Amino acid sequence: MRATAGKLGVPLAAVGLAIALAAGLAGSSTGSAGRRAAGLHAVVRQAAADSQAARPSAPKSFSPSAFPLLPADGPGYLAPGSDPSALPGEVLIADEDNNRLLLVDPFGRVRWQFPASGRLPGGGQFGPPDDAFVSPNGRDIVATQEMYDTISIVSVAGSRVVASYGHPGTPGSAPDYFSHPDDAMLLPGGDLLFADIVNCRILLLAPGPYQVVRQFGRTGSCYHNPPTNFGSPNGVFPLTDGHYLVTEINGDWVDEMDLQGHVYWSAHPPGVAYPSDACEFRPGEYIATDYSTPGQVVIFTSTGQLVWRFRPAGANALNHPSLAVPLPNGDILVNDDYNDRVIVIDPVTNQIVWQYGHTGVAGSAPGYLSKPDGVDMAPPYSLLIRHAATMGRP
């Protein structure tokens, strides 16, 4: 989607909040309330109305102060017509091809970056981050570097890597070797849970030095037969019932499983060719992206029934989106990888209401991204903090 009313990334202050939205961006000077006044689809309207109460809430005692935020001076860089009220706070972006993590506020201003100077102290290098999630205690970020075959844990306040797993650029299946690890999650007790895609397994590591607590799936046996076999799993996301949602690329499967290996159900996300990173939209409903072109975002049930689909065509088409995360107001945060942008979708109006990044134009300057492959919210709205109270423990 390319805006026609102006070049993407024009400072927000220059376009104003009342600008008419162009090429699929929807909104008005009245903000979210105005956007939701018309065209309500019955099922999605109910989901949006219930979302705040149904989703896990952030711990009231948590503060986002772990991030040493840069000043919020100057204009932001958003697509024209973007509505900052669509976001409750800053967005953490795994900007993969720029080898960096960014924290961007709702106005499109970069408030934090790692590594701050582009390289680690001492001449080290931060491998391209595929996904990044804030830890349940808010002090760390776990960054999965799929194409680098590693996982790094980054201290937020210290802006340094405090632990790492895997061998950079060397895939394998022996101890402390991975092959395209994806979506690593830090559990409240410090254990690390993630999908090891090419090895077709899910690993649970103890805190500290490499130690496997549990493995699900037989290494190298890549077909759908959970929990004994998984067909190239690419995500293991927490649910509010303490279980986890596993996404399998081969065969288009999503499974609910606990950390003892009990599988509760398996379903096909309807009409999806390449399922990616399914997670909970609200209890009983699940959201996944289709890592394809044109891509899509779907909400579905445990029986595979379609609840909602976002699959725009033409200039608005998604290009290999890989993760969709529900926001407290019912909107959906999505990284649209090959379009070099992060967007927010209003599922009631089926419109893009916020965008950071220039559609299909990669770059590293303010307002630009290069294949952003992961998103999370800053505390207290981050995924693992919202699920900390109910997240299953080994």
Cα 95 vs. chain centroid, distance in angstroms? 12
Asked if 152 contacts 143 with a C-beta cutoff of 8 angstroms, the reply is yes
pLDDT higher than threshold 60 for residue 299: yes
Q: What is the pLDDT of residue 42?
A: 36
What confidence tier does 394 reach under pLDDT thresholds 50, 70, 90? Answer: low
Answer yes or no: is pLDDT of 84 > 50.
Answer: yes
Beta-sheet strand order (sheet of 372-377)? 110-114, 100-104, 91-95, 372-377
Above 50 in pLDDT, residue 38? no
Instruction: Give the pLDDT of residue 358.
Output: 97
CB atoms within 10 A of CB 215: 16
Mean pLDDT, range 379-384, rounded to an integer: 94
Instruction: Identify which has the larger pLDDT, 291 or 16.
Output: 291
Residue 354 near residue 78 (C-beta atoms within 8 A) = yes
C-alpha 30: how far from its chain's center? 28
For the beta carbon of residue 119, count every other beta carbon within 10 angstroms. Answer: 12
At 206-248, the pLDDT tens digits run 999 999 999 999 999 999 999 999 999 999 999 999 999 999 9
User: What torsion, rounded to 10 degrees, do the Cα atoms 202, 325, 157, 368 define?
Assistant: 110
Residue 51: phi, psi to the nearest 5? -60, -40
Residue 19 has pLDDT above 90, yes or no: no
Reduced to 3 states (helix: H, G, I; strand: E, B; else coil), residue 28 is coil
Q: Which stretch of 43-52, 204-213, 247-256, 258-267 has the lowest confidence by average pLDDT?
A: 43-52
The amino acid that residue 240 corresponds to is T
Q: Which residue has the tokens 């590591």?
A: 205
Q: What is the C-alpha to C-alpha distance for residues 108 and 58, in angstroms, rounded to an integer?
A: 23
- pLDDT-derived band of residue 180, with 50, 70 and 90 as boundaries? very high
pLDDT digits (tens, 9 = 90+) for 332-376: 999 999 999 999 999 999 999 999 999 999 999 999 999 999 999
Average pLDDT, the chain: 85
What is the percent of the chain with per-residue pLDDT over 90, rounded to a whole number? Answer: 75
Q: Is residue 73 very low, low, confident or very high in pLDDT (cuts 50, 70, 90)?
A: confident
Using one digit for the tens of pLDDT, what is the confidence trace for 147-169? 999 999 999 998 899 999 999 99
14 pLDDT more than 90:
no
Q: Is the pLDDT of residue 37 over 60?
A: no
**pLDDT average, residue stretch 312-320:** 94
Range 312-330 average pLDDT: 95
Q: What number is the average pLDDT over the span 187-191? A: 94
Is the pLDDT confidence value at 20 over 90?
no
pLDDT of residue 7: 24
Work out the average pLDDT over 62-76: 77
Q: What are the extents of the domains in the chain?
A: 33-65+84-386
DSSP H or E run through 310: strand 306-310
Residue 66: pLDDT band with limits 50, 70, 90: confident
Which tops the pLDDT comparison, 37 or 257?
257
Q: Quote the CATH superfamily of domain 33-65+84-386.
A: YVTN repeat-like/Quinoprotein amine dehydrogenase (2.130.10.10)
Helix (H) or strand (E) segment spanning residue 336: strand 332-336
Q: What angle do CA 107, 321, 111 make, to 5 degrees?
A: 25
What are the tens digits of pLDDT across the range 107-121?
999 999 999 876 776
Burial zone of 73 (CB within 10 Å; 0-12 exposed, 13-18 middle, 19+ buried) = exposed
pLDDT category at 123 given cuts 50, 70, 90 is: low
Residue in the block written with tokens 């009631």: 348
